[in-house]
Amino acid sequence: MNESDLLRRSHTIIPGHRVRRPAEMYAAIAAWCEQHDVEHDVYGSGALLQQFERKVASLLGFEAAVFCISGTMAQVTALRLACEDRGSRLAALHPTSHIFVHERSNYQLLGHFDALQAGDRHRPWTVADLEAIPDRLGAVGLEIPMREIGGQLSSWDELEAIKAHCRARGAHLHMDGARLWEAAAGHGRGVAEIAAGFDSVYVSLYKGIGGLGGAMLAGSRGFVARAAEWFRREGGNVIHRSPYVVAAAMQFDARLAAMPDYFRRTQFFYEALRAHPQIRVNPAAPQASMLHLHLPVGRERTLAIRDALAAQEGIWMFNRAAHGALAAASVAEIHVGDNLLAMADDTLRAALATFADRLGHAA
């Protein structure tokens, strides 16, 4: 049985939001379109699309925002334009940046910019990491929160110092805000306050929001207009954005309103994990509504335990697992959403106990 079948048949699902099957999702989209008299945009021109772009820009505190078919396209385009504007091809990125880890060297092979790794891959950035770079930077790209280290955040004081440093240095500060909505509760501040001092911000429309896909890039009106033109040149000018926009817009307000609840549920999840010391959690305390479980078995064994647990007990523990630094270790990633929010406390505790028992027998 493949992964999608196991997930669909499970009744106790830990990570993320409930996955709606295509027919259910499309029916919800159709009903929302009928209710709100939605027309298709045509190559990015349409009332709903422009309204949603203005809404996201306003929430983030920027002049403008533009839809992009993928965050991968949005990010490297933004950083390339930023480097052009500042007269330096150098962009500083954390070693765990999505651009390094998941985008197959696109920035390098396509000649977007030259990237410098800054900081320790196991820790969020400090301003000292940037101060240590002697070169003139065109751009600095900061992920909030940092996914590959369990959703960690730079402290608020460090974040403000990083903003001030980039401003004084004349470097464009760009935010990879794929999970910014989830990080706001961890910082205890609104997204506009977090984004203040950044020159551009990318946000996802499908991760915490639960849409079909797509992203928004926010910034000054001129910067956004130039980015939009490059999205067309790069093949992002799909004739209708409306399916992606509707899928996000129809649940956007409810998802944002639930973010503090997701964070509180993450805090409960951390407390429940204390009963199972063989499962190490990163970070040590919640900073966003996600976490990494460091497990005492290798990745292949971890995935086998996950699949057996789903097939035999109907418990789906996590989606993604990676190799750990040690041979007999792995890391599982969990994003907290509607599934955990709706789950009874005792059900969660029982699922964790069953998983921990399987781990104990496998270690």
What global pTM score does this model have? 0.96
Phi, psi values for residue 329, rounded to 5°: -150, 155
Nearest Cα neighbor of 141 from 212, 67, 90 is: 90
Q: What is the pLDDT at residue 265?
A: 98
Task: Determine if residue 216 is left, alpha or beta; phi over 0 gives left, psi from -120 to 50 gives alpha, anything else beta.
Answer: beta
Quote the CA–CA distance of 282 and 266 in Å, as a whole number.
Answer: 12
Largest Cα span, the chain: 59
Q: What is the pLDDT at residue 1?
A: 79
Number of other CB atoms surrounding residue 132 within 10 Å: 10
DSSP 289-339: SEEEEEESS-HHHHHHHHHHHHHHH-EE--SEEEE-SSTT-EEEEEEBSHH
Question: What are the per-10-residue average pLDDT scores of the chain (363 residues)?
Answer: 90 95 96 97 96 98 98 97 98 97 91 95 96 97 97 96 98 97 93 98 96 97 98 96 97 97 97 97 96 97 97 96 94 97 98 96 77
Tallying the residues shown for the chain, one arrives at 363
Q: What is the pLDDT at residue 52?
A: 98
Place of tokens 């422009």: 50
Kindly state the tokens that stand for 295. Answer: 């497990």
3 state SS of 176:
strand
Go through the domains of the chain in sequence order and give each one's CATH number.
Answer: 3-18+254-362 (3.90.1150.10), 38-240 (3.40.640.10)
Distance spanning both ends of the chain, measured CA to CA = 25
Tell me: the pLDDT tens digits for 266-281?
999 999 999 999 999 9
Q: What is the pLDDT at residue 362?
A: 76
- Whether 172 and 196 have beta carbons less than 8 Å apart is answered as no
